[in-house]
Homo-oligomer: A and B are copies of this chain.
Amino acid sequence: MESVDLIIRNGWILTIDPEDTLVEKGAVAISADRIAAVGPESAVGARFLAAKTIDARGGIIMPGLVNTHTHAPMTLFRGLADDLPLMTWLNDYIFKAEGRYLNPETVYKATLLSCAEMLLSGTTTFCDGYFFEDSVAEAVQECGMRAILGQGIVDFPAPGVPEPDKNVAEALRFIRKWQGKTSLISPCLFCHSPYTCSEKTLREARYVADETGSLFQIHVAETITEVTQLRERHGLSPVKYLDRIGVLNPRTLVVHAIWVDQKDIACMARKKVGVSVATESQMKLASGVPPVPAFLNHGLDVGIGTDGCASNNNLDMFGEMGATARLHKVMSLDPTVLDARQVLRLATHGGARAIGLGDRIGSIEVGKKADLVIIDTYKPHLTPLYDPVSHLVYAASGSDVRDVIINGRLVVQDGRLLTIEIETVIDAVERLCREI
């Protein structure tokens, strides 16, 4: 018998491996931060002796969810302003609140809150872009989450970066500070968009990302207005413009990609960029519907993000899965588009690939990092259980998450967060927000 640290047993295992293997009464063995074995409970039990065992009690064992796009500190502004025209919302509410209330302390506390919400709803990895990203990293570290964190870059005075001409240097400083510091945090940069960053800024940021081997994130083709502006300025679509100035390569995360045409999609596929959609936020802001089925047909790696809580207004990836599966069906009037299996893949391994972590996380396979979630299915709304994948996409919500393991460490147990004191965080953020 081999010794391992942890065995999770007695669950439906959705591996999300290349064959979408489902093990009906399965077990996962975990040794330190890695998956040592996955298979039928009898086989795993015969081979391994575990220091600790978790009984999934017939529930679902799945890879941790990967949220490929958010602005974690924006939980500060959750529900502050909704149902407004985009520019009124941004200029009169969000930008004003950001300018007045963001500082290292508020960003830190709001990120603790976001991490708590994400962990309790089964997200183990997220990809972030914001300002005061050092504070985001500190909060993430405290919570024990995995994250790709991008320091924001924009060509006007921003929170923590009053002088725009130092924005790329600030991102470089952030990347150097956090690179290699902990295996859970990968620092990177986040250019706001091709209409708020100059060509010079974008080229410099690309250079920094390539030199440091980090991800280059950018919002692209989010609104019709953006496309019109870019065409006027450069005679090109946002995607084509970014390609012309050399910004697109496989270490790029193109966020939104709503108003893209066939040529843009072909270009994105040629450059092998990752894509993140953010279905619920895109619907709520009335930005539009990205052509996800076309992205997948072109072989692009696509992930799903929640976006920030000012526009979502939660960080529940189960809601995103359901909305994504349903929206593309009704848009195409075809109920076979984006089936539950495809959508679950987007929210796990697809997203992991899109942000460059596909070889480490996103599926339950031997050798991968042990980022896992156990779903409690003994509930009225998850009864009966014919097909666990269907339940995850169409019936479950984040509150059905029972246990969460990141890098081999148990961080949520029986719906209770183990890494931080949740009441302290809720009270602190509620106090901060009384001023806003």
Q: CB within 8 Å of B: which residues of A?
A: 75-76, 78-80, 82-86, 89, 113-114, 116-117, 120-121, 224, 280, 282-289, 309, 312-316, 319, 322-323, 325-327, 329-330, 332-337, 339-340, 378-381, 383-387, 390-391, 394-395, 397-400, 422, 425-426, 429-430, 432-433, 436
Q: Mind listing 24 A-B residue pairs with CB under 8 Å?
A: A78-B384, A79-B384, A79-B386, A79-B394, A82-B394, A83-B335, A83-B336, A86-B335, A89-B335, A120-B381, A283-B329, A284-B325, A285-B329, A286-B333, A286-B335, A309-B395, A313-B395, A314-B394, A315-B381, A319-B322, A378-B426, A380-B425, A384-B433, A386-B433
How many copies altogether? 2
| Residues in chain B near residue A80, CB distance under 8 A | 386-387
Write the chain B residue with the least CB distance to A114. B380
Whether A384 and B289, one on each chain, are in contact in the complex, defined by CB atoms closer than 8 angstroms, is no
Whether A397 and B398, one on each chain, are in contact in the complex, defined by CB atoms closer than 8 angstroms, is yes
Whether B285 and A335, one on each chain, are in contact in the complex, defined by CB atoms closer than 8 angstroms, is yes
Centre residue among A79, A113, A287, A387 by max chain B CB count within 10 A: A79
Whether B380 and A283, one on each chain, are in contact in the complex, defined by CB atoms closer than 8 angstroms, is no
Whether B391 and A79, one on each chain, are in contact in the complex, defined by CB atoms closer than 8 angstroms, is yes
Q: How far is the CB of A336 from chain B (nearest CB, A)?
A: 6
Whether A83 and B381, one on each chain, are in contact in the complex, defined by CB atoms closer than 8 angstroms, is no
Report the Cα distance A268→B395, complex, angstroms.
33
Whether A313 and B390, one on each chain, are in contact in the complex, defined by CB atoms closer than 8 angstroms, is yes
Centre residue among A284, A313, A381, A400 by max chain B CB count within 10 A: A381
| Residues in chain B near residue A288, CB distance under 8 A | 330, 333
- A380-B113, A426-B380 given; A286·B332 CB < 8 A: yes
Report the Cα distance A313→B86, complex, angstroms.
32
| Residues in chain B near residue A316, CB distance under 8 A | 381, 397
Centre residue among A83, A121, A333 by max chain B CB count within 10 A: A83
| Residues in chain B near residue A422, CB distance under 8 A | 380
| Residues in chain B near residue A386, CB distance under 8 A | 78-80, 433, 436
| Residues in chain B near residue A378, CB distance under 8 A | 426
Whether A113 and B383, one on each chain, are in contact in the complex, defined by CB atoms closer than 8 angstroms, is yes
Report the Cα distance A75→B386, complex, angstroms.
11
| Residues in chain B near residue A314, CB distance under 8 A | 381, 394-395
| Residues in chain B near residue A282, CB distance under 8 A | 330
Centre residue among A284, A339, A432 by max chain B CB count within 10 A: A284
Write the chain B residue with the least CB distance to A332. B286
Centre residue among A86, A283, A323, A387 by max chain B CB count within 10 A: A283
Whether B283 and A340, one on each chain, are in contact in the complex, defined by CB atoms closer than 8 angstroms, is no
| Residues in chain B near residue A397, CB distance under 8 A | 316, 319, 397-399
| Residues in chain B near residue A117, CB distance under 8 A | 380-381
Q: Which of B120, B325, B336 contacts A85 (CB 8 A)?
A: B336
